[in-house]
Amino acid sequence: MKIVFMGTPDFSVPCLAKLIESRHEVTGVFTQPDKPKGRHGELTPPPVKVLALENGIKVYQPVKMRDGTALEMLREASPDLIIVVAYGKILPKEILEYPKYGCINIHASLLPDLRGAAPIQWAILRGLKETGVTAMQMDEGLDTGDMLLKEKVEITKNMNASDLHDILSSLGADVMIKAIDLLEAGKLVPEKQGESESFYAGMLSKDLSPIDWSKSALEVHNQVRGLYGWPCATAKLGGKTFKIHETVLTGEKGNAPGEIVDSHGRLSVCCGDLNCVEIKVLQAENKKAMKTEDYLRGNPVTERKFD
């Protein structure tokens, strides 16, 4: 089968790699335009572009999808099927309907739950015990198309967003290949999504970062895990803002939200349900992240409560 792949970030890379290794022909790769990065604003290609060029695959980087340019590029690649994995652009009707088999999206949640841009992080933020990957037949809505295939994974209690990202990225590649094989064999059975079960997993922002110590210990722990990497959970102590990279639930009890229960070689903080979280890794302003025990060696905490 002739396939066009559309994707941009690291999450998409295992899917493209698996597609290249398969018996199918990748006739083109669509990805976002190169973007300036770093102090000097050097134009940097997306990870998907790098892999495509390493394998001699033509790369298309349309700025817009609705002005006819992308459609002309697609006609040149002439695919039977389009696979979309975290591309970052909305596809218009003429592109969705161009290939014989339409467009299949590999989405990092168990649809219809967690539609939107950040399903991995929101799965943890919401305290879900499991999530997964859904292969979906794309339509003009936002992650609303018919479900074709699902695979589940467990979210363990200390798994963070980066851990889950890597697991779902690899799983997505397996689900993609299975879906293509079933499509060719005529064995895919589309299933409509239920609207009442959907939660919009919108883009993350720094507004989500500040820890509200009046929330339960589990909610605080989920916030730290879900925002790991970016934008990171934050907390104020002695007028200084710290990024909190890792916590664990301790089973300890405190007396008031934000109270520091123990600061001798560790940092245990009481939450709203009077249960505690221990901060294992933190990052002071303009410093590197470090283990809390190492930070406390040179920076004893005299305050008894987070702001």
What digits encode the pLDDT tens for the residues 92-140?
A: 999 999 999 999 999 999 999 999 999 999 999 999 999 999 999 999 9
Q: In the structure, what pLDDT confidence band is assigned to residue 188 with cuts at 50, 70 and 90? A: very high
CATH architecture of 2-197: 3-Layer(aba) Sandwich (3.40)
Residue-level pLDDT at 272: 98
Q: Are 138 and 105 in contact (CB under 8 A)?
A: yes
Nearest residue to 105 (alpha-carbon basis) of 75, 132, 133, 77: 133
180-189, 191-200, 262-271: the lowest-pLDDT one: 191-200
Structure tokens given for 155: 């979210």
Whether the Cβ atoms of residue 60 and residue 70 lie closer than 8 Å to each other: yes
Taking the CA of residue 284 as centre, how many other CA atoms within 13 Å lie in the half-sphere pointing to its CB?
14
Q: Where, residue-wise, is CATH 3.10.25.10 in the chain?
A: 206-298
The span from the CA of 284 to the CA of 282, in Å, is 7
Q: Model pTM?
A: 0.95
How many C-beta atoms surround the C-beta of residue 276 within 10 A? Answer: 24
| Residue 5 pLDDT class (50, 70, 90 cuts) | very high
Indicate whether 61 pLDDT > 90: yes
- What pLDDT shows up at residue 82? 98
The superfamily CATH assigns to domain 206-298 is Formyl transferase, C-terminal domain (3.10.25.10)
Q: Can you give the pLDDT at residue 40? A: 82
Question: Which residues make up the CATH 3.40.50.170 domain(s) of the chain?
Answer: 2-197
Question: Model confidence at 75, in pLDDT bands (50, 70, 90)?
Answer: very high
CA distance 90 to 99: 16
What Rg do the C-alpha atoms of the chain give, in angstroms?
22
Instruction: Return all residues near 223 (Cβ < 8 A) that are at least 6 apart.
Output: 125, 208, 211, 215, 233
Residue 137: beta bridge partners? 104
The number of beta carbons lying within 10 Å of the beta carbon of residue 12 is 28
State residue 76's pLDDT score. Answer: 97
Query: Is pLDDT above 90 for 198?
Result: no
